[in-house]
């Protein structure tokens, strides 16, 4: 989560990452926190997320259609680095 947050901040993107442990959500919003579905529906740009997910897939990273992300012991540090690098390449194009 921190790597994606750092990339978002450095690129001045509205990518928002929020969650606990290995489960987190990716969305596009200027809010600091999304507390429930209503917050998400009113304040997040789902179309932008779908475009992000589409472009990430072109980079070899598959994201869920709803923004929920799960990490597991099957993911390596190399996988994480590749994901962060892909996000760094994709975010400026959105």
d(CA 92, CA 48): 12
pLDDT at res. 73? 94
At 42-74, the pLDDT tens digits run 999 999 999 999 999 999 999 999 999 999 999
All domains of the chain in start order, with CATH: 2-93 (3.90.1150.10)
Tokens of 26: 């990716």
d(CA 62, CA 90): 13
pLDDT score of 10: 96
């Amino acid at each position: 989560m921190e790597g994606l947050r750092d990339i978002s901040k450095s690129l001045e993107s509205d990518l928002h990452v929020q969650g606990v442990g290995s489960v987190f959500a990716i969305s596009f919003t200027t809010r600091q926190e999304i507390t429930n579905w209503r917050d998400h529906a009113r304040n997040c740009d789902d179309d932008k997320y779908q475009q992000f997910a589409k472009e990430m897939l072109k980079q070899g990273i598959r994201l869920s259609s709803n923004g929920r992300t799960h990490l597991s012991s099957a993911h390596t540090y190399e996988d994480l680095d590749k994901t962060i690098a892909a996000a760094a390449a994709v975010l400026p194009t959105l």
